[in-house]
């Protein structure tokens, strides 16, 4: 998997912001098919979000070091 087109990153960014996908199964979808489709879609969405977050983190650079406080 991975970006197939530059516009994919717009979709990844939208998923990362909302983390919501609407899904309407077919009328004749069996419970087993429904479970498989939802698992597949959940995995694909998670991968897209992870890819967007990774891309965003690369642009931002490493997080600034914070001073440790000992209480």
pLDDT in tens, 10-34: 877 887 787 677 889 999 999 999 9
- Tokens found for residue 10: 């717009």
CA distance 59 to 71: 34
Q: Of 42 and 55, which is predicted with more confidence?
A: 42
Q: What is the pLDDT of residue 64?
A: 57
Query: What pLDDT score was predicted for residue 71?
Result: 47
Which residues of 1-71 form beta strands (DSSP E)?
A: none
Is 60 or 66 the better-scoring residue by pLDDT? Answer: 60
The rounded distance, in Å, linking the Cα atoms of 19 and 48 is 10
Euclidean distance between CA atoms 53 and 55, whole angstroms: 5
């Amino acid at each position: 998997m991975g970006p197939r087109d530059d516009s994919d990153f717009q979709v990844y960014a939208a998923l990362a912001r909302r983390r919501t996908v609407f899904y309407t199964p077919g009328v004749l979808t069996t419970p087993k098919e429904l479970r498989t489709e939802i698992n597949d879609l959940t995995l694909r969405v998670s991968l897209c979000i992870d890819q967007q977050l990774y891309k965003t983190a690369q642009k931002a650079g490493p997080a600034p070091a914070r001073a440790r406080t000992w209480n």
